[in-house]
């Protein structure tokens, strides 16, 4: 490859668009031997540098792409096994002061806006728990008057305060607008899980083009949100971009640079990376976006991210179709949403068979039980585990366990125990038989004999009606 340009960061940002574009341009000259060396390194779970990621993004040779997919699958199986973590979003408010060209919450769109009362929050929580969910992502638009941080904190308190016969919501991840260090301290104090924020696009001219007005238009403030979250004590942060706004190769490389920045400064990069792809929504047209990502490119993007950060969780939502979700589970996705509603009060509206007005239209409309059943049919273990969060295995502690390969020694036992709990609480006779067979087949895969024995004992207690075991 040609000489790689030197990054020139400013006091405001660590993202240098000229550097990223230069690295991608230089990568066009990568030889077959260089690509093979990069892939050999990735196959050893050693990740990839900026120039190496760029070379993988730029190569068009079918044999290189085929091997990228093959190695991504090997990494997924080796590090994550056959576990798939499940969650669902909970939208609490669609009030927003931002004018984002891709979003139906755009403040210029005229529709009846609402935010949930605490009774409505509890009703949505009840319906989510009845689906078997233990982990949710709380979502809200940005509006200082209608949706201040105090409202978000009240929602979190209401959700954590709900106790049911079959348990409760055990982890609330929060996806709200970039905010102040003080507000992140408040979120940390009430026990959130991961703070999630999508940069949407790292390409600043595009960012300013699609964020027409509102506080979200401030690129640098949005970009440095995770720095403030870490400074406030939130150890787990989750990043992502909205693929389809700008060149996906630029986005992937910038996303990896952001991850590296956090790792260098706080010794903990992204806990998760989400890969939402631009899809249709009320009040916008896909024809207005020239960088839409086709299926083949999207599959490749997911696989390359998996090679670049083998120990980082990857999240896929119901934006994607049933078929695409199945493909991407094999290439690196470790968490998926199930039975999702993407509108405020959507679960109650669904229960009443009312028309939906979502933030975006989902493509996988199956209910949670159908998704969970299919996952088991495909050889996966659906996991409702929240043990790391509740045991304090977060931030740099989680990453050290993940990179040493030790985290899987607790992930599989917890996955099997939570699947047993789900089967007993929400599954019928046929589902239980299927789940128990899968659990029996996977128990021997727990390498630590003591933990395998303890998990087997706990599973039997859960079958007799006990709840909430974890290691």
- Domain residue spans in the chain? 17-78, 80-365, 405-463
47: left (phi over 0), alpha (psi -120 to 50) or beta: left
Strand stretches in 106-244, DSSP E = 135-140, 171-175, 195-196, 211-213, 237-240
Query: Which residue in 194, 128, 182, 123 sits closest to 150, CA to CA?
Result: 182
pLDDT value of residue 122 = 98
pLDDT value of residue 468 = 87
- Cβ proximity of 310 and 47 under 8 Å: yes
| C-alpha to C-alpha distance for 265 and 181, rounded to whole angstroms | 16
Q: What is the DSSP letter of 133?
A: -
| C-alpha to C-alpha distance for 172 and 164, rounded to whole angstroms | 16
Query: Which residue in 421, 416, 466 sits closest to 446, CA to CA?
Result: 416
pLDDT value of residue 341 = 92
pLDDT value of residue 72 = 98
pLDDT value of residue 264 = 94
Cβ count near 437 (within 10 Å): 11
pLDDT value of residue 9 = 42
Distance of CA 320 to the CA centre of its chain: 13
Q: Which two tokens stand for residue 393?
A: 């295995």
pLDDT value of residue 318 = 86
Cβ count near 184 (within 10 Å): 25
pLDDT averaged per 10 residues, the chain (length 471): 48 83 95 97 94 97 98 94 95 97 93 96 97 97 97 98 92 98 98 97 97 97 97 96 98 97 94 94 89 97 97 93 95 95 94 83 86 95 89 78 73 95 95 96 93 95 91 80
pTM for the complete prediction? 0.94
CATH topology classification for 80-365 = TIM Barrel (3.20.20)
pLDDT value of residue 358 = 77
53: left (phi over 0), alpha (psi -120 to 50) or beta: alpha
| C-alpha to C-alpha distance for 310 and 51, rounded to whole angstroms | 17
Cβ count near 410 (within 10 Å): 21
Measured at the CA of 431, the angle between CA 123 and CA 451, to 5 degrees, comes to: 90
Q: Which two tokens stand for residue 80?
A: 């994550």
| C-alpha to C-alpha distance for 271 and 269, rounded to whole angstroms | 6
Q: Are strands 99-100 and 211-213 parallel, antiparallel or unpaired?
A: antiparallel
pLDDT value of residue 13 = 73
- Cβ proximity of 217 and 98 under 8 Å: yes
């Amino acid at each position: 490859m040609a000489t790689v340009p030197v990054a020139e960061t400013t006091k405001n940002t660590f993202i240098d668009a000229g550097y990223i574009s230069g690295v991608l341009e230089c990568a066009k000259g990568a030889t077959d031997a260089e690509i093979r060396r990069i892939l050999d390194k990735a196959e050893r779970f050693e990740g990839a540098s900026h120039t190496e990621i760029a070379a993988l993004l730029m190569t068009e040779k079918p044999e290189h792409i085929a091997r990228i997919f093959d190695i991504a699958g090997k990494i997924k199986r080796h590090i994550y096994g056959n576990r798939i973590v499940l969650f669902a979003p909970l939208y609490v408010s669609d009030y927003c002061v931002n004018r984002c060209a891709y979003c139906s919450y755009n403040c210029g769109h005229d529709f009846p806006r609402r935010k949930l009362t605490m009774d409505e929050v509890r009703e949505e929580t009840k319906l989510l728990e009845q689906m078997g969910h233990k982990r949710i992502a709380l979502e809200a638009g940005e509006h200082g008057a209608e949706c201040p941080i105090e409202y978000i904190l009240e929602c979190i308190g209401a959700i954590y305060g709900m106790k049911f016969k079959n348990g409760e919501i055990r982890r609330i991840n929060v996806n709200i607008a970039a905010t102040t260090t003080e507000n992140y301290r408040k979120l940390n104090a009430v026990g959130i899980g991961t703070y999630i924020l999508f940069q949407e696009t790292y390409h600043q001219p595009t960012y300013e083009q699609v964020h027409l007005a509102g506080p979200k238009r401030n690129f640098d403030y949005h970009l440095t949100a995770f720095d403030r979250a870490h400074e406030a004590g939130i150890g787990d942060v989750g990043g992502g971009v909205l693929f389809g706004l700008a060149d996906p190769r630029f986005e992937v490389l910038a996303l990896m640079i952001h991850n590296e920045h956090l790792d260098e400064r706080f010794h903990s990069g992204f806990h998760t990376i989400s890969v939402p792809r631009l899809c249709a929504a009320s009040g916008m047209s896909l024809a207005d976006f020239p960088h839409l990502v086709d299926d083949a490119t999207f599959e490749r993007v997911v696989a390359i991210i998996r090679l670049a950060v083998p120990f980082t969780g990857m999240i896929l939502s119901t934006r994607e179709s049933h078929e695409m979700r199945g493909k991407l589970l094999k290439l690196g996705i470790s968490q998926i949403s199930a039975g999702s509603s993407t509108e405020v009060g959507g679960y109650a509206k669904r229960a009443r068979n009312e028309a939906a007005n979502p933030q975006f239209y989902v493509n996988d409309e199956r209910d949670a039980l159908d998704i969970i059943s299919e996952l088991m049919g495909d050889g996966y273990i659906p996991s409702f585990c929240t043990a790391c969060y509740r045991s304090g295995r977060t931030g740099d502690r989680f990453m050290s366990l993940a990179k040493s390969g030790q985290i899987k020694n607790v992930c599989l036992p917890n996955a099997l125990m939570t699947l047993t709990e789900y089967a007993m609480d929400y599954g019928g006779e046929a589902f239980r038989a299927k789940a128990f067979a899968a659990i029996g087949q996977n128990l021997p895969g727990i390498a630590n004999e003591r933990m395998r024995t303890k998990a087997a004992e706990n599973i039997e207690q859960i079958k007799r009606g006990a709840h909430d075991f974890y290691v």
